[in-house]
Amino acid sequence: MRNFKKLLCVVLVLIVALSAASCSVTKQYAHKSANVELPIGVYISNLQKAYNEAQSLAQQSDKYDSATGKYDGKSSFLKLEITDSDGNTAVAEEWIINKAKEYTQQDIAIAYEFNKLKATFDELGPDDMISSISPYAIYNQQTGQLDESLDRPLSEVAKDSEKYGIGFDSWIFCNYSVDKMKEAAFEAEYAEDGPMPVKKDEITKYFTDNYYNYTTLSAQLYSSQAKKDADGNDTEETENKALSKKEIKKYEDAFKKYAQELKDGKSMDDVVKEYNKEFKAEATASPSVTKIEKDTTDELNKVVIALKDKDATSKVIGDDENTRVIYLIYKEPIKDKVKEYIDDEAKRSSLLHEMQDDTFDELLDVIVEGGNAELTSDCNSYKPSMFEEKKKK
């Protein structure tokens, strides 16, 4: 499969420009201001998303009967109290409306910031083959067909939502484009020539302060075998059994020796070969460049933090004798990985997100709280019950 660009754009130019155009014949808007115009379909799409989430929460309730598909004896869950992952409890109908408003205001704030920064991202011509929202197929904009895996054109997939008043442009925006706009705005905000620049040396310092470069070799200090049933036959379940004290000591002595050899300058590759020969194994070393919090409670991570560069040690880790693993740990300077991570655009962007995601979300919250992301009264015409009514028909 060709490495296609990842921006869906049947009507992307309209969306990026935040055109007033909409599939709604009444030309209703979710938001309309000098800076941003979003069609009503964006709100309806978010209302549907919130409806589906609330339904999932309702189905986790003890009031739900999976045999009948009813909620406390009723076909509708909208009057049922639900509790979300944040511990908030509310009547489902109210929860859906509030969540839809929240989602739409986030979309408006993203579009607001995107426009303010004059951010951009690639557009596609009509002959381009482009990745669909579905990970299973490629959508051909010219033919309107999915060329692999799925037998429905993307326009038909989106058409399922049209009966609710969600136009294709709104569907594309909510399902794909708004994420691309957020990423473009984020990159523009913190670019070295942006309004809140994050310099390359700041990213480098963050990386070297928080990441660790190390390699491990490990071996289980237990064996796994099939559990027996009442008749003494093997079952599909397994159970662990600790190795003998003699076998464990052999591993401990060997790994202690390997650590010293690494300190003396032997390569990890040579140590692995030595281990495989001595224990008739086929192990490989596991290099890792990992962010580790200073207050970590993970035993392996605590060892890594404590080690000096070019130092090595061995450590047995496990909750009990039937789960213990012995590790050979060799720590290398994190500075050796700076060029790989800072010069690589994708890796550098990932680091920047770690540094600034919370700050950027706070910036979007300020837009909402400042009254620049208010919904129009058109949104009041749409209720969660519309999705149930459509299903009944």
Asked whether residue 135 falls in the same domain as residue 256, the answer is: no
Asked whether residue 147 falls in the same domain as residue 38, the answer is: yes
- H-assigned helices in 307-344: 338-342
Q: Which residues contact 151 (CB under 8 A, 6 or more apart)?
A: none
Q: What is the pLDDT of residue 239?
A: 82
Candidates 273, 318, 279; CA nearest to 300 is 318
- State the Cα–Cα distance between residues 118 and 114, nearest whole angstrom: 6
- State the Cα–Cα distance between residues 188 and 198, nearest whole angstrom: 11
Asked whether residue 188 falls in the same domain as residue 53, the answer is: yes
In a domain, 174, yes or no: yes
Asked whether residue 189 falls in the same domain as residue 232, the answer is: no
Asked whether residue 193 falls in the same domain as residue 257, the answer is: no
Q: What is the pLDDT of residue 26?
A: 54
Token pair, residue 145, equals: 């067909």
In a domain, 239, yes or no: yes
Residues making up the chain, counted from first to last: 393
Q: Which residues contact 254 (CB under 8 A, 6 or more apart)?
A: 275, 278, 279
User: What range defines the domain where residue 226 resides?
Assistant: 207-339
In a domain, 67, yes or no: yes
Q: Tens-digit pLDDT profile for the chain (393 aa)?
A: 333 333 333 333 333 333 333 343 458 999 999 999 999 999 999 999 999 999 999 999 999 999 999 999 999 999 999 999 999 999 999 999 999 999 999 999 999 999 999 998 765 433 333 444 444 344 444 455 544 544 555 566 667 788 899 887 888 788 778 988 999 999 999 999 999 999 999 999 999 999 999 999 999 999 988 777 777 777 778 788 999 999 999 999 999 999 999 999 999 999 999 999 999 999 999 999 999 999 999 999 999 999 999 999 999 999 888 999 999 999 999 999 999 999 999 999 999 999 999 999 999 999 999 999 999 999 999 999 999 964 444
Structural domains counted in the chain: 2
Segment holding 211, helix H or strand E: strand 211-220
In a domain, 165, yes or no: yes
Full-model pTM: 0.79
- State the Cα–Cα distance between residues 299 and 289, nearest whole angstrom: 17
